[in-house]
Every structure is written in structure tokens, then in C-alpha cells.
Amino acid sequence: MKNTFTKTNKKPIMLSGIQPTNNLTLGNYLGSIKPYVKLQNKYKMYVFVADLHALTNKFDKNNLVNNKRNIVCAYYAAGLDFNKCIIFNQSDVISHNDVSHVLLCHTTLGELERMTQFKDKGLSKNDNNTFYVRTGLLTYPVLMAADILLYDANAVIVGTDQKQHLELTRNIATRMNNKYGKMFVLPEPVIMAHSARVMDLLDPSIKMSKSNTNPKGVIYLSDPLNVVYKKIMQAKTDSFNKVNYDVKKQPGISNLIEIYVAISNISIETIVKKYANQNYAVFKKDLANLVCKELKTFQTKFKKAEAIFDKQIKPLLVKNAKICTQIVRKKTSLVYKKIGLQ
Ligand code: AQP
């Protein structure tokens, strides 16, 4: 894990969130949820449901409600300590948008148009016709910058795909600090050495995403375990039939090895050695059992979270939103003052 945050006596602050778009995937789990759990004792954690971000894609009102709830239950099921981490819904803390507007006015159109995610999810999905691209998709990295800067986050867990957005956050913060005097902390990316980018099982050239069109390439956290098993056994590999880590020449098997590493904490070298004389089927079977074991525990705890959601978890979300509102109000006031609004 890479983390260049400078140590202080106080616990550093970490902030992360997931958009409630569709069902959560193994990519979300290994790339962000599991790392939050690992790091929750090292950092003061703010973990949120990025529901305002979900509006940048097509969404269904009823699904949005369910997806939001599912993310909170997933945090619980994965082992986040709800007494230590501040878990909240982004839209319950109104000022995120206030500061986002100020940041937007300090960002250029060119900066936003060159964001890879905007090109991938916005332009290329709409034949480069901006008439069909939602403006929110263009501006959401700035809302993300506001999310991070409002809480003085020192560190943000990001998959490699989000690194560019964090660089933008740092650029905007530096620009504003230089122009008006220090108001923002510069966040560092924390990128997990493995599982930073879990790839689609059938097309290892694309990221495993909630919105991928073919569900057979995606492991959803809610998939029945026999389906998970089958998806792994049917994952695309190659004709070498040699368990070897080479992302360029053998992207499929390399992706499976990364998943193995992320779940077992065994190194790539040890795994490659262990399966040196085995065919892909043996390796896949072991991996499928490993993933199923992990998801079985997760799914059991997820059911428990659903059962206690209304009585125990919901009140906590309300309480946390109040805590966050106070923090954010203070920061918004500072920003307004510094730039001459107050
Ligand atoms: N395949 C992945 N591998 C590693 N990390 C991943 N993340 C998502 N997919 C992978 C990480 O999960 C966090 C939350 O993601 P998000 O839902 O806020 O945004 P996203 O990256 O756009 O996720 P998806 O699954 O690709 O959603 P859709 O399809 O709705 O756009 C982030 O830290 C992300 O890096």
C-alpha cells in the first residue's frame, strides 16, 4: 500500500465514498471497502454514500433508495466499526454543494474535459456528442474535491482510475491556498498495491464496474455463491495454461491472481510458485472457494445489517450527518471569508 502522508501526533483523516449506482461488485469491495476496514484504526475515517454523485448517471428513484441502504449495509458487513468511523449520506450534509460551487468557479473547462472518466463514461458512450452528456458527469470531480477538502482529509483511498481526480483536487486546493491564503489540506492518494483495479472477468481490458453490460464478467457482492463460483470458473484466461503474472501477455489470469492476493494476502510470487505445475482449472477452483468463503461471511453479516438497519443504523446516520454538518459549516464559513464573500 502506498501512502506518503507525513506523520503527526493526531490521527490523520481519511475520507472515502461509493456511489449508489447499481449493485456493488467485488471491485468495489477489494478496491475500497476492504481497505477502509484495514485502515480504520490508523485513520480517523469519514466514509460516505456518494448519493449526489449517483445523479450524474441515469438513475431510478426507487433503486437509488435501495442502493444507498445496501452500501451502508455493505460497510457494516465488511467489518467497518460504526462506533469509530463516521458513516453518512452525502446529501444529508447540505454544504457539500456550496463549496463545490466555489471550487467550480476556480476550475477551468479544459481541466474537466481532459478527465479520463469524463471521456470514457461521457464522451465515448455518447459518440462524442456533448448534447447527450450530462453536465454533472463533467463537473463531478469538483464535487469530489469539495467532499475531500471540506473534511481536511489527509488521505483518500482511490483505485487507479480515480487518481486523476485526486490530482485535480490537489491542484484546485493549491490554487486557492496560494490565491487567498491557506484554507485547504492537500490530500494524498492511498492506492492499494493489489486490487487497485479489479478487471472484468470476461473482458480483462475493462474495469469490473457496477454498470458493465455483461453481468457474467462481474461478481456482485449479492450473487448467490454458486453463481460466484461459476463466474470464476468461466473467467477468460488464455491458451498458455500457465499460472503466471504478466498483465500484458496474460491479463485474464493476472487479474485472477490479483484477486487471490487481495483476499488471501499471499504474495504474487508465492501463488505463482504454488500453482507452477497446475492447470488453470485447479487454480480457478481454489480461487473460487476463496472468494466464496469471503463472500459467505460478508453475506451473513449483510443480512444482519439489513435486520438492524431501521432501528440501529439509521439513527446513527442521522447523528453522523449532524456531526458532519457542523464540520462542513465551519469550513464553508472559512472559505467564504477567505474569498471575500463574508
Ligand atoms: N474494479 C475495481 N477495482 C478496484 N476498485 C474499484 N472501485 C470501483 N471499481 C473498482 C473503487 O470503488 C470505489 C467506489 O466506486 P464508485 O462507485 O464511487 O465509482 P466507480 O469507480 O465509478 O465504480 P464503478 O463500480 O465503476 O461504478 P459505475 O459502474 O456505476 O461507474 C472507488 O474508490 C473506486 O476506485
* CATH number reported for the structural domain that contains residue 248 in this entry: 1.10.240.10
Q: Whose CA is nearest to atom 25 of ligand 1?
A: 209
Structural domain includes residue 101: yes
Structural domain includes residue 222: yes
What gap in Å lies between CA 340 and CA 342, rounded to an integer? 6
Whether residue 147 is found in the same domain as residue 283: no
What was the pLDDT predicted at 195?
65
Whether residue 137 is found in the same domain as residue 246: no
| CA dist list (Å): 304 to 3, 308, 342 | 34, 6, 47
Structural domain includes residue 163: yes
| CA dist list (Å): 38 to 70, 116, 181, 192 | 20, 29, 35, 11
Structural domain includes residue 6: no
Counting from 1 in the atom list of ligand 1, the atom nearest the Cα of 212 is 29
What gap in Å lies between CA 232 and CA 217, rounded to an integer? 9
What was the pLDDT predicted at 339?
97
Whether residue 140 is found in the same domain as residue 236: no
Asked if residue 67 lies in contact with residue 54, where contact means CB atoms within 8 angstroms, the answer is: yes
Q: Containing domain of residue 27, as a range?
A: 13-197+308-339
Q: How far is the CA of 328 from the centre of ligand 1 (A)?
A: 25
How many structural domains compose the chain?
Answer: 2
Whether residue 40 is found in the same domain as residue 130: yes
**C-beta 141 within 6 A of ligand 1:** no
What was the pLDDT predicted at 8?
52
What's the mean per-residue pLDDT of the chain? 93
Whether residue 89 is found in the same domain as residue 224: no
Q: Is the pLDDT of residue 237 over 90?
A: yes
Q: Give, for 178, the enclosing helix (H) or strand (E).
A: helix 163-180
Whether residue 193 is found in the same domain as residue 219: no
88-142 pLDDT, tens digit per residue, is 999 999 889 999 999 999 999 999 999 988 888 888 777 778 888 889 999 999 9
- The sign of the CA dihedral 90, 295, 42, 175 is negative
Whether residue 126 is found in the same domain as residue 72: yes
Give the domain CATH number at 83. 3.40.50.620
Whether residue 290 is found in the same domain as residue 313: no
**C-beta 50 within 6 A of ligand 1:** yes
Counting from 1 in the atom list of ligand 1, the atom nearest the Cα of 53 is 18
Structural domain includes residue 66: yes
Tell me which of 127 and 145 has the higher pLDDT: 145
How crowded is the C-beta side of 57, counted as CA atoms within 13 Å? 18
Whether residue 24 is found in the same domain as residue 62: yes
